[in-house]
Structure 1
Amino acid sequence: MTRADLVFTGGPIHTGDAARTRATALAVTGGRITAVGHDEVRELVGPGTEVVDLHGKLLIAGFQDAHVHAVYGGMEMASCDLTGTVGVDDYLRLVGEYAAAHPEKEWITGGGWSLESFDGGLPTRQLLDRVVPDRPVLLANRDHHGAWANTRALEAAGLTRDTPDPADGRIEREPDGTPSGMLQEGAVGLVGKHAPAATLADRLAGLLDAQRMLHSLGITAWQDALLGEFGGNPDPSDAYLTAAQDGTLTARVVGALWWDRERGAEQIPELVARREKLSHGRFRAGAVKIMQDGIAENFTAALTSPYLDGCGCATGNSGLSFVDPLALREHVTALDALDFQVHFHALGDRAVREALDAVEAALAANGRRGNRHHLAHLQLVHPEDVPRFAALGAIANIQPLWAAHEPQMDELTIPFLGPERAAWQYPFGDLLRAGATLAAGSDWPVSSPVPIEGLHVAVNRREPGADPATPVFLPEQRLDLATALAAYTAGTAHLNRLDDTGILRPGHLADLVVLDRDPFAAPAEEIADTRVLRTYVGGQEVFAAE
């Protein structure tokens, strides 16, 4: 009898299989699960076996994040980080302190501020000029679809009242046309490209810092949703390849290669070459990311009917489709034929429909090739399109943390959608009932990377720590805990084509997480109190709580 390298006893163990079975013991040999059961698993314990007594703590499959920007998030943690507050005075204090602490920096860069902090979501250059008048400052907002610049940054980029808006973005302006300091979508790159480029060492440090943090949250695998240059941000691909080659990449990572929306099909051969180059060890770049629209808060999410104004009247703006819908069908069909997985950013209902139409065109032309295309964000899904996910095999890649009442939702979104469309937001329950496969992710650093918090909102449709008087956001769209957990484990494993992960069964890789409690045994309102104690990848411990 072959003895196990590692045995967990004293469960519960949530296997995550279709029957939602439970065990009390699990064995690992050579990085894979070799037994799942009860007392009989103890027979695999030998002199060299490490035995972990769970003492009633829950063992689950490792979390997998279906949409994250790990390198950018790690680099942002090391820059001027404005996350954790929504006060304008706090932002200015943090920017001033960071600038004073880093006199050597030619530009002050970072991000994490919230749209809700400013009237209409529009900060001004003059605010930043108060604290940093002598150097350019460029700070991405929390959702990374816009940025706040001071006067020196605008001047460095040559932006004036005569500078036209790019086709895929908008320069917010003062009454005389002068750039106000807020840049939307593609306009960010007009300034960002002038900031000093990050080095490979910067990117690699960002990746490893992010990996440590993500492992501490129980995350064992993820899909990085943007490998390429965008908005002045560097391509993080070389950091992943370096870490994969030198063995410091302990997570399993799928990369989504950026589709340059200013180009067309001529870039496909380059994507094929990059896929070949960027596959080593635990890293492979087998997906292509197409950003089809923007976000609702700045009115660039693509809608099937116009946004409303502050008085509730229809405007002339229905958002932006960054890729022509007919061309999108052709591009996705070509990518599918080459066995790329397409990862769509589709937030508005028109963008969702355009992405589904593209998947449908690919299936009609190529048949079902099993490429597991997926649509991320899904803020608005027209009810007519909900059943199309299951019919087309398109995976619903959800970011549950966004499905709650909070200021950006209540002040910057719902009033401009109106009640009918507001009720179409984040329809997780409808998608599940219609047979869609759900995968889950965070979009960090746009929002918190903590999977436990995402589970909490998916189940409760309220933010952790919300005032008890806060209403549940569209309660009919709540998920049960087992379904939400499956989205963060087996669902994303399926999306990532990591088919020997996500469920605890013999033969699967031993990517495991020990929680400090069994959240199934407590009220749903307490899910967010759960903490990660240990994380394992391939049976090797990559995190242990102190």
Structure 2
Amino acid sequence: MDANDTVVSHVLIRNGRFIGVGNGPVRAQGRPFDVVNLRGRTVIPGIVDAHNHIVLVGNRPGWSTGAEDVFTIPDLVARYQERSADVPPGEFITTIGPISAMQFAERRLPLLAELDAVDRPVYIQAAQGGTRTNSLGKAWLEARGVVVAADGVIGGGATGSSRALQVMREQLLTPETRVRSANDALQYFATLGITTHRDGGAFHSELPSGGIANENTYTMHRPFLTLDREERMAARLRIDFLHQDPANDPNLPTLAPRLRNNFPFFGNDWLRTGGIGEFTGGGIEGLRAIARTGWRGEDHSLNLASAQSLIALREQVHAEIPIDQLRWIISHIPGFNEDLANRFHAIGGGVLVGWGPTRTGTNVGPPYRMLYDHPIQVGYHSDGGDITVISPWLNLYTMITGRNLAGAHILGDQNLTRQQALRLATADTRWFIWEDDLGSIEVGHHADLAVLDRDFFTVPDEEIYQIRSLFTVVGGKVVHDPGRWVR
């Protein structure tokens, strides 16, 4: 994924960086190197998800269990049965957020009778498809005032999934369990080849909340800080700070203290602060404050009208305080056009695209093709963790085929080639991370890579979303090696 789309057969890694890239034996002076023979496997740079909600996933209650790589209900049940070997009796196995009914062949989530094959309480709250539990989970939740139907379906509202998640957070979350969940989340997505996450924040709740996108935004990073101190990070984490100050309050009660008391891009190679986003908050006064202090800012757009408004505000700020060197971002952009791309590019902005596998309708995704051919900076994000999935392979499948996980065409003529889609998720994301030595296999860059279980460039379309990593390396550190490639 360098500028020439070079394909090589060997790399040499020392002190966390590529020091040799080429064909034939790559030689270097100095001490002997461990040799890993990948036997012809396809290797790509580590995936960079330039905006997701991994920190929310890392603060889930219970024994959080990733499940975006299973595609039938029996396979999901088998995943939970395998997980139960590590879970003490009576404790919950949970998948909260990044899972979708649409990913399963059955196009639904499992019901109580199916989940009863797992000998631990199970709780599933899907980004798309609802909330489910089994008999053990039903008994626990009903004892705490949660209404659960006979088939394990938990409805919404004060007595349903909102109450269920709140009570689980209140009773199951401790500093220790949060560290476990954070570690499990990073490790799971390393198995899918993600080596860098840029987190888009959460809606602030001082106390445990029933909102799936809610957390205490002043304490939720602690488990990841613990993993970093203990040198146990399985991926790089870049932290953005979400703010929602009202537009009519010029005092900016939360944003102003953040800008005064925090540092952007502060930390180390594994964990570092970023900018303000996924919401900037405070209306145009918030944008002015972010611009004055030289921070990156990001807001999301859900339709064409919101994108037009966001860009108009940024043009107004830019006329007063230049922002063209600050790499401001608009994400999602399901409605966007060439005029907006021209205008945002003119003031130095960039757009993140993705978030499509669970959408329904027609022409509801970003105009990938138009943007890829445009000079504006474009990168990939999943925005997964609460409202959609994180797996890059589910997202890339949609970007390439134009279809959602149910097989419906949602992108019109805006889909990309495999090479283009992968570039958006690797080399093209570095602009959004503000780190120019990530996302490609080149001498001097961080040695982040994923060894795939099949050739992304040649497998049939319907195998793209099934891809996993057999061997994941971050900064020269092996973070995923189930096959023991290194002996």
Q: TM-score range by the shorter chain?
A: 0.7 to 0.9
Shift of 1:440: 1.3
Give the aligned partner of residue 259 of structure 1.
243
Q: 1:31 touches 1:540 (CA, 8 Å); kept in 2?
A: yes
**Contact in 2 for aligned 1:109/1:138 (Cα 8 Å):** no
**Are 2:328 and 1:373 equivalent residues in the alignment?**
yes
Distance 1:280 1:247, change over 3 A: farther
Distance verdict in 2 for CA 1:510–1:278, change over 3 Å? closer
Q: Percent identity?
A: 22
Q: How far has the Cα of 1:55 moved from its partner?
A: 2.4
Of the three residues 378, 384, 388, the one matched with 1:444 is 384
Distance 1:529 1:195, change over 3 A: closer
Q: Residue 81 of structure 1 aligns to which amino acid in structure 2?
A: T
**Runs of 5+ consecutive residues of structure 1 not aligned to the other structure:** 1-15, 103-107, 140-146, 155-180, 293-322, 415-421
What's the counterpart of residue 213 of structure 1?
188
Q: How many residues end up aligned between the 2 structures?
A: 424
Q: Which residue of 1 aligns with 2:178?
A: 203
* Structure 1 residues 452-467: aligned runs within 5 Å: 452-463=393-404
Give the TM-score normalised by structure 2: 0.75
In structure 2, the partner of 1:385 is: 340
Indicate if the aligned counterparts of 1:511 and 1:538 stay in contact, CA closer than 8 A: yes
Q: Distance in 2 between matches of 1:66 and 1:52?
A: 29
Distance in 2, Cα, partners of 1:434 & 1:277 = 29
Question: Does the alignment pair 1:520 with 2:457?
Answer: yes
- Cα–Cα, structure 1 residues 382 and 135, in superposed 2: closer, same or farther, change >3 Å? farther
Match of 1:430 among 370, 378, 382: 370
2:277 to 286, 289, 294: 289
Aligned twin of 1:20: 5
Structure-2 change in CA distance of 1:491 and 1:278 (3 Å): closer
Cα deviation, residue 208, structure 1: 0.7
d(CA) in 2 for partners of 1:89, 1:527? 22
Q: Matched residues in 2 for 1:376 and 1:385: separation?
A: 13
Among 214, 233, 244, the residue aligned to 2:215: 233
Distance 1:471 1:193 in 2: 36
Is 1:224 the counterpart of 2:238 in the alignment? no
- Change beyond 3 A, Cα 1:133–1:51: closer
Aligned residue type for 2:243: W
* Counterpart secondary structure, 2:351: strand
Structure 2 counterparts to residues 302-321 of structure 1, below 5 A: none
* Counterpart in the other structure of 1:166: none
Q: SS of the counterpart of 1:266?
A: coil
For the residues of structure 1 that align with 2:172 and 2:27, how far apart are their CA atoms? Answer: 56
Is the deviation greater in 41-50 or in 527-536? 41-50
Partner of 2:40: 56
Q: Distance in 1 between matches of 2:195 and 2:347?
A: 29
**TM-score normalised by L of structure 1:** 0.67
Say if 2:50 is the partner of 1:66: yes
Shift of 1:455: 1.8
CA distance in 2, matches of 1:132, 1:94: 18
Q: Which residue of 2 aligns with 1:336?
A: 291
Structure 2 letter corresponding to 1:483 = Q
Contact residue 341 and residue 373 of structure 1 kept, 8 A? yes
Distance of 2:258 and 2:423 partners within structure 1: 31
CA, structure 1 residues 61+203, in 2 after alignment: closer, same or farther (shift >3 Å)?
A: same
The residue type equivalent to 1:457 in the other structure is: T
Question: Could you list the runs of 5+ residues in structure 2 that have no partner in the other structure?
Answer: 66-91, 149-153, 206-210
Q: CA RMSD in A?
A: 3.8
Q: How does 1:119-268 map to 2 (within 5 A)?
A: 132-137=141-146, 148-149=155-156, 153-154=158-159, 195=170, 198-226=173-201, 229-230=204-205, 231=211, 232-235=214-217, 236-262=220-246, 265-268=252-255
How is 1:353-432 mapped onto 2 (pairs within 5 angstroms)? 353-368=308-323, 370-382=325-337, 384-402=339-357, 409=360, 414=361, 423=363, 425-432=365-372
> Shift of the alpha carbon at 1:277?
9.9
Q: Tell me if 1:270 matches 2:257.
A: yes
Offset of 1:279 from its aligned partner? 4.0
**CA separation of 1:545/1:438 partners in 2, compared to 1, >3 Å: closer, same or farther?**
farther
Check conservation: 1:197, 1:234, Cα contact below 8 A: no
**CA offsets 1:313-335 (integer angstroms, 9 cap, x no match):** xxxxxxxxxx6xxx522211211
| Residues 38/51 of structure 1: CA separation in 2 closer, same or farther (3 Å cut) | same
* Preserved contact between residue 110 and residue 138 of structure 1 (Cα < 8 Å): no
**Larger RCO, structure (CA 8 Å, separation 6 or more):** 2
Separation in structure 2 between the aligned mates of residue 357 and residue 482 of structure 1, nearest angstrom: 33
Per-residue deviation at 1:521? 3.5
Are the equivalent residues in 2 in contact too, given 1:510–1:537 (CA < 8 A)?
A: yes
Change (3 A) 1:461 1:273: same
Q: Pick the structure with greater CA Rg.
A: 1
Q: Does the C-alpha gap of structure 1 residues 129 and 261 become closer, same or farther in structure 2, counting only changes over 3 Å?
A: farther
Query: Taking structure 1 as reference, are residues 195 and 20 closer, same or farther at Cα in structure 2, changes over 3 Å only?
Result: same
- The residue that corresponds to 2:72 in the other structure is none
1:51-74 deviation line (CA, Å, top 9, x unaligned): 222322222211111122223224
Render the CA deviation track for 1:375-430: whole Å, top value 9, x for unaligned: 2222222564243343333222122543xxx6x51xxxx4xxxxxxx536421112
Bigger helix fraction:
1
Q: Give the conservation status (yes or no) of the 8 Å contact 2:404–2:410.
A: no
Report how far residue 485 of structure 1 moved: 0.8
